A and B are shown apart, each in its own frame.
Chain A
């Protein structure tokens, strides 16, 4: 087993190992030179944009998306503006941040999803540099503009742009900057020469890292750890300062003896490790800097241009040919594989090896462990170490040893071993070259199986996702069904297949899966403009409550109504009926109801329910001897029945209107007969009816009818109202027709209403009423005929004398 430690390098108290994950499948003609590269954490996809600065239309840059193993997933010519930065969101979407602050979002397969802008200030001053960061709130973007101001969005799915305050005295671009997440807030840390500033929503505060060596003049590079807990600063004197991100504590400081700033610097730190370490990369040189007390660092030589991808528990190094993982050797692995280790795990592994060789030494080793009663610990070490190994053979050897040791323990709980076996099987499956998700066990546990399934779904690796769900016995609702739903939603978007074929394929696949919502799939189909397919899919939806709303949304009201009736759910029928009543014109509504007797009877029943409630009100009023109220309620019931009959016969919406409003509607649409009948049945006072009728006729501008009505019999309200309603509709010539019939007392008013001053003056003088003459005078303007005014004044003075 000596070869396991071959790739190990000591640094301080710990060892570091660099293991190859993949040989890259891509064929890059010019390597990673002149490329914008973005690789998502957790073994996510890699995006490449070659020569992003090229602008000429003849030679546009190519955007390529690969899996971590270098399998091509998408490739297309970039036709938009100049891209400044690429990044990935937590849900595997690609963010392309352009020079003008526009952010374009693509999915894994290069399909455009949406875009948004980072604000006017960014448009004006252009993006100088951008960073994509992840926090508990989602994926965020930070931008520094040409005017050296920062704009920040903490979550791109709930976009709220924050413009951070100005940094006092900042003349040029900062030498380096990074985004921190502290106190549930995203902040920017920036260095300008030796000065460090923290920018939050409201303020810019200067900070100093404790114990920074004195010969430093400028901080040239900085990086924040994956967990935002630690910070590393690289200075122009070649020192690396490491400390906590809140700048309260210094962990270590290492002299690298290299003065040029590294091309990339990232943290490489396992959770719970005591040793801070930072990986720096120059053109062809990689350096791991560690503990203060040892002031140690060691270097690797790189054969070609590479990119560092920080991970939770290490750093991935991607070059045009290889993909490697650099990490601190996990404690369990170190214990077992360290040369001449006497740890229980190492002994157990040895024991098992002897056992395989059928040697009695196996027993000796076992005894040695058992005497210290460390067998349980030994098994645990072997299982844990297996989890951290990438090589399948090594995993197997360790697991076999654990299994062997377990035989000699009576009460060792099996879950730990079983779960690790399962996890490893899943991990090995997703690590395979074709899938290309090189997750470590620590990352997998952090990320959870749910998220892994999501990632597989994003990559449309449905069969593998389902396989994993089944293998892990995830509850159907969260597991298999969810994957199938995504599959179906993807399937309905395939334009080349016919509706029938898709519907059949979906139904066959989804047949036995529990908790599938066909309505969700159908609404996806509807969104893609495939209404017919949506209806076909809805046929499979067992819950009518889910079918009906979507059918209504698709304007298939007839179908919705029959589905609702089939369901036997009266509430659902009411929902549809109320919806139809608002959407359709009255005639169609009743025709629809007539074809659906159940709905019609339900519609009637609702009215019946109201009538029966009113009846009980009548009974109670009678008991209380409130005759008036009883009668009024009784009339209301009569009115409701009358309205229902009219609704069904004539298709006018009347139900629930007051008597007055019912009459108004009837008269306005010319249903005079029923109106007359109501007027008689309910003994509407003549005056009110006349008012109502003439207003309705005037509103309709039915002047002939109005005249006829005026002549039908003597008006109980006089004829001034006729004049008034005509004037209200600006028809003075019609109004004049009625003036002669107005009573002498109101004549002046009538003349004034039509604007006939002379007529009004005549009438007023004739009546010898001082008040009326004054009223006419008050309406005279300076333009009025002087003679008329004089006559009025004379008349007034004579009447006043009397």
Chain B
């Protein structure tokens, strides 16, 4: 598909600046409380903090002891306490309890709360309610964005998804706006902004307000185009089993903040090893985007190359040996270590995936995506529950079924749901309610009644309103009409031809050639058309809320694009998966573009569903 005349993709801007800014501000905030102090850190801030400032840096700025926030009474002898926390009610309440218990014991200390990334009004309200407002000083550490890799930036806000999409709590939208503003002021000005979804629109508005307030500096842009996507635009993609290497590693070992802990079964020793997974790992960077079936052959090729490199030693004279040892050996050793780790991980993945009959699972998923042999798929899901394979996996398949089939037939819905409840407890009634609210797992509306209603009402009004009515009914019938979308956007390639996973021809390779991720296809289409023109039907099926700013006219632009215009920032509100990132990387390579992914958090099917569990 690569077109002649496309240059190589430009290199991404230097995001280490974001880290430096965050570190400098943190140091400034710590200096605001002079003297020795103990620092309490919220658990989920520990790994991100570790990327910004290590213990030595903290100690240099008079942090005496470090504690993890555990919501228990504290044991600190310091006269100054500093709390580095997320703006959550429970944590602020705990801090108030600490202050109040000191007061009761007649102990005097100084307290400072640093909220990351920003303070919410409710935090002050809680402090006031608990009677400690005057006893603590508060500050915000504007640490919005953590670069995980040269093309991935995470806001590390996993709660964004549940709070925004399920609970309708929109306070994080402003945070997303602030993050955009930060990126804009450092790497902008952005010339084009595309968006899809309610939250995306709000985040855009929030950013635009900020931008209007602040002064405009003219600088050469590093990033030209921004694309905002809500997670609820596409639930199918994150719910599919991941089969590219990085996605699989995340599904099985859970990558946390860009690093993964390989247990003894991978390291084949008795201890676990923590490995950073990014482009600096030369072995990983070559296999991360590969379909898993290619990984083994690649790794063994790599191992042979390595052996050859080692073998070079033989027949060297002293001088050559000296250069070899000083220049090459260290690199080889490092590569050797990484290679053996990744081989271990691959073996472990193989073992797990073959045990659960992974092939059959994938077959079921593919038939759901294609819409063939749905009854067999349902039977498979039923057996999945009967065999008690996994609580979350069963739920995932149910959701995938509902999303692809416009909801479940009432009979199936009831039967499967009661099987599930009997197996995993009646508390999951609440989980099902959550899933229904999101539209991820629903009961099919009796289709006939709606159509009948539509035609009846349609006769009473004129043509123009009738069109609107059809829209209304179609959106009533189903939030996202997957099958129609799939046809319109050619998400499911023709299954009769063999798909060569070694030489992928489109983004579908990330799902073994069975499905092009909807989210990424939308990005591709909009960029190709330089706007939403021609996609009206598609946008109607995904509930509108699309927007495009700064795109001149319709149709693709002529002429060469500048480097900045070829750097495209895609922001996922509610999380994105490593598979989606792999798909965008593929798209970038094909089109000579560089995609930068900003996400509220890295997600996968497990994290997504666990966020919706209620038990």
Q: Which of B36, B415, B421, B426 has the most CB of A within 10 A?
A: B426
Is the pair A688, B429 in contact by a Cβ cutoff of 8 Å?
no
CB-CB < 8 A to A658: which residues of B? 421-426
Interface residues of A in 617-665 (CB under 8 A from B): 628-629, 632-633, 635-636, 658-660
Interface band, chain A = 10 to 19
CB-CB < 8 A to A197: which residues of B? none
Contact with B along A683-697 (1 / 0, CB 8 A): 011011001100000
* CA A717 to CA B382, docked complex, whole Å: 11
Is the pair A688, B419 in contact by a Cβ cutoff of 8 Å?
yes
B424 → A minimal CB distance (Å): 6
Is the pair B387, A660 in contact by a Cβ cutoff of 8 Å?
no
B74 → A minimal CB distance (Å): 15
* CA A660 to CA B421, docked complex, whole Å: 9
* CA A632 to CA B431, docked complex, whole Å: 14
CB-CB < 8 A to A633: which residues of B? 426, 429
Chain A residue at minimal CB-CB distance from B421: A632
Residue B114 CB within 8 A of the other chain: no
Is the pair B414, A660 in contact by a Cβ cutoff of 8 Å?
no
Is the pair A660, B422 in contact by a Cβ cutoff of 8 Å?
yes
* CA A636 to CA B426, docked complex, whole Å: 7
Known: A660-B388, A685-B419, A688-B419. A632 touches B383 (CB 8 A): no
CB-CB < 8 A to A632: which residues of B? 418, 421, 426, 429
Residue A682 CB within 8 A of the other chain: yes
Is the pair A659, B422 in contact by a Cβ cutoff of 8 Å?
yes
CB-CB < 8 A to B388: which residues of A? 660, 691-692
CB-CB < 8 A to B523: which residues of A? none
Residue B386 CB within 8 A of the other chain: yes
Is the pair A685, B386 in contact by a Cβ cutoff of 8 Å?
yes
Is the pair A687, B422 in contact by a Cβ cutoff of 8 Å?
no
Q: Which of A628, A682, A691 contacts B422 (CB 8 A)?
A: A682
* CA A682 to CA B423, docked complex, whole Å: 12
CB-CB < 8 A to A687: which residues of B? 382-383, 386
* CA A184 to CA B36, docked complex, whole Å: 10
Residue B417 CB within 8 A of the other chain: yes
B76 → A minimal CB distance (Å): 12
Is the pair B426, A635 in contact by a Cβ cutoff of 8 Å?
yes
* CA A795 to CA B596, docked complex, whole Å: 53
B356 → A minimal CB distance (Å): 12
Dominant SS among interface residues on chain A: helix
* CA A184 to CA B429, docked complex, whole Å: 58
* CA A425 to CA B383, docked complex, whole Å: 89
CB-CB < 8 A to A184: which residues of B? 36
B384 → A minimal CB distance (Å): 11
CB-CB < 8 A to B414: which residues of A? 628
Residue B564 CB within 8 A of the other chain: no
Interface residues of B in 386-433 (CB under 8 A from A): 386-388, 414-415, 417-419, 421-426, 429
* CA A95 to CA B581, docked complex, whole Å: 65
CB-CB < 8 A to B418: which residues of A? 628, 632
Contact with A along B460-477 (1 / 0, CB 8 A): 000000000000000000
Interface size on B (CB < 8 Å)?
19
Interface residues of A in 687-731 (CB under 8 A from B): 687-688, 691-692, 717
Known: A687-B382, A688-B385. A660 touches B426 (CB 8 A): no
* CA A685 to CA B417, docked complex, whole Å: 12
Interface residues of B in 583-607 (CB under 8 A from A): none
* CA A347 to CA B418, docked complex, whole Å: 103
B212 → A minimal CB distance (Å): 46
Q: Which of A633, A636, A660, A687 has the most CB of B within 10 A?
A: A660
CB-CB < 8 A to B383: which residues of A? 687, 717
CB-CB < 8 A to A688: which residues of B? 385-386, 419, 422-423
A616 → B minimal CB distance (Å): 14
CB-CB < 8 A to A628: which residues of B? 414, 417-418
Known: A628-B414, A632-B418, A685-B419. A691 touches B426 (CB 8 A): no
Q: Which of B419, B422, B423 has the most CB of A within 10 A?
A: B422
CB-CB < 8 A to A692: which residues of B? 386, 388
* CA A684 to CA B419, docked complex, whole Å: 8
Chain A residue at minimal CB-CB distance from B415: A685
Known: A628-B414, A632-B418, A687-B386. A660 touches B423 (CB 8 A): yes
Is the pair A659, B386 in contact by a Cβ cutoff of 8 Å?
no
Chain B residue at minimal CB-CB distance from A660: B423
* CA A548 to CA B415, docked complex, whole Å: 49
* CA A632 to CA B382, docked complex, whole Å: 18
* CA A685 to CA B424, docked complex, whole Å: 15
CB-CB < 8 A to A636: which residues of B? 426
Is the pair B387, A691 in contact by a Cβ cutoff of 8 Å?
yes
* CA A658 to CA B415, docked complex, whole Å: 17
Chain B residue at minimal CB-CB distance from A634: B426
* CA A629 to CA B419, docked complex, whole Å: 13
Interface residues of A in 655-681 (CB under 8 A from B): 658-660
B418 → A minimal CB distance (Å): 7
B56 → A minimal CB distance (Å): 13
Chain B residue at minimal CB-CB distance from A137: B77
Is the pair B429, A660 in contact by a Cβ cutoff of 8 Å?
no
* CA A712 to CA B388, docked complex, whole Å: 24
Chain A residue at minimal CB-CB distance from B79: A184
CB-CB < 8 A to A635: which residues of B? 426
B495 → A minimal CB distance (Å): 16
Is the pair A684, B429 in contact by a Cβ cutoff of 8 Å?
no
* CA A636 to CA B388, docked complex, whole Å: 19
CB-CB < 8 A to A717: which residues of B? 383, 386
CB-CB < 8 A to B425: which residues of A? 658
CB-CB < 8 A to B417: which residues of A? 628
Chain A residue at minimal CB-CB distance from B433: A629
* CA A636 to CA B425, docked complex, whole Å: 8
Chain A residue at minimal CB-CB distance from B426: A636
Interface residues of A in 270-312 (CB under 8 A from B): none
CB-CB < 8 A to B382: which residues of A? 685, 687
Known: A628-B414, A629-B429. A691 touches B386 (CB 8 A): yes
Chain B residue at minimal CB-CB distance from A721: B387
* CA A659 to CA B427, docked complex, whole Å: 12
A775 → B minimal CB distance (Å): 11
CB-CB < 8 A to A659: which residues of B? 422-423
CB-CB < 8 A to A685: which residues of B? 382, 386, 415, 419
Contact with A along B371-390 (1 / 0, CB 8 A): 00000000000110111100
Is the pair B387, A684 in contact by a Cβ cutoff of 8 Å?
no
CB-CB < 8 A to B422: which residues of A? 658-660, 682, 684, 688
Q: Which of A184, A628, A636, A691 has the most CB of B within 10 A?
A: A628
* CA A659 to CA B419, docked complex, whole Å: 10
* CA A660 to CA B424, docked complex, whole Å: 7
CB-CB < 8 A to B415: which residues of A? 685
A409 → B minimal CB distance (Å): 38
B582 → A minimal CB distance (Å): 28
Chain B residue at minimal CB-CB distance from A617: B429
A539 → B minimal CB distance (Å): 32
* CA A717 to CA B417, docked complex, whole Å: 20
* CA A633 to CA B383, docked complex, whole Å: 24
* CA A635 to CA B419, docked complex, whole Å: 13
* CA A608 to CA B419, docked complex, whole Å: 26
* CA A682 to CA B383, docked complex, whole Å: 19
Apart from A632-B421, A658-B425, A688-B422, list 20 A-B contacts with CB within 8 A: A628-B414, A628-B418, A632-B426, A632-B429, A633-B426, A636-B426, A658-B421, A658-B422, A660-B423, A682-B422, A684-B422, A685-B382, A685-B415, A687-B383, A687-B386, A688-B386, A688-B419, A688-B423, A691-B387, A717-B386
Which residues from chain B sit less than 8 Å from chain A, CB to CB? 36, 382-383, 385-388, 414-415, 417-419, 421-426, 429
Which residues from chain A sit less than 8 Å from chain B, CB to CB? 184, 628-629, 632-633, 635-636, 658-660, 682, 684-685, 687-688, 691-692, 717
Pairs across A and B, CB under 8 Å, 5 listed? A633-B429, A660-B422, A660-B423, A685-B382, A688-B423
5 shortest A-B CB distances, which residue pairs? Answer: A636-B426, A688-B386, A658-B425, A659-B422, A660-B423
